[in-house]
Structure 1
Amino acid sequence: MVRINFSSSIDLIKYPLITSKTNLLFENNQYTFLVDPRLNKLSIKKAIEFLFDVKIIKINSCNLPKKKRRVGQFTGIKPRYKKVIVKLAKDNKIDLFSND
């Protein structure tokens, strides 16, 4: 297991995943993020609570499979990520679509 300190775990949260299915989860106060696969649930919880100033109730995570990509004659794989669905407390909210 790789030890990751708190300051680097903030950088390892890549971006929120916005699809039609994850938009339906917004109604249940659940948000989806792609993170580095080395992070565990505890470090993900601490980083998201620090970044967005929210209280997390539950975290579901799954490792996404490797995907092959081809550029001309060369084949390779895309970077791997872990998908995380975070359920927030009832009165908390993350504003992903800010007008600023």
Structure 2
Amino acid sequence: MHFTQVIMRPVVSEKSTAMKDENGKVTFIVNPKANKIEIAKAVEALFSVKVEDVNVVRMRPIARRRQGRVVGKTVGYKKAYVTLASGDKIEFFEGV
């Protein structure tokens, strides 16, 4: 799998921003078929940083209810927490 197909998008939330500032961990939504080695190589190639560790979480689809009935489901996805080497940084909104 090519490294541009591995990482789909970064997760930009309050929790992920705090993790990035405090621990140097960056969160990405990744391709469900990608493994830890492919994710680490893709992050190193795309952002020119050194990756120390990758933790992967598979998020299950959630049933959405309306007045007690199940109307549909959200889409399941795979999320990766990437720990960067000390001194390395990824900035998503540099000029904002």
Q: Tell me the TM-score normalized by structure 2.
A: 0.81
Provide structure 1 residue ranges, at least 5 long, that are not aligned to the other structure: none
Q: More strand per residue: 1 or 2? A: 2
How much identity, in percent, do the aligned residues show? 36
Q: How many pairs are equivalent? A: 93
Contact 1:29 1:88 in 2 (8 A): yes
The yes-or-no answer on 1:19 pairing with 2:19 is no
| CA displacement 1:27-85 (0-9 Å, x = unmatched) | 21110001111100000000010000000001111100013468xxxx55443321110
Question: Match for residue 94 of structure 1?
Answer: 90
Q: Which residue in the other structure is 2:28 paired with?
A: 33
Offset at 1:98?
A: 2.1
**TM-score, normalisation: structure 1:** 0.78
Runs of 5+ unmatched residues, structure 2: 66-70
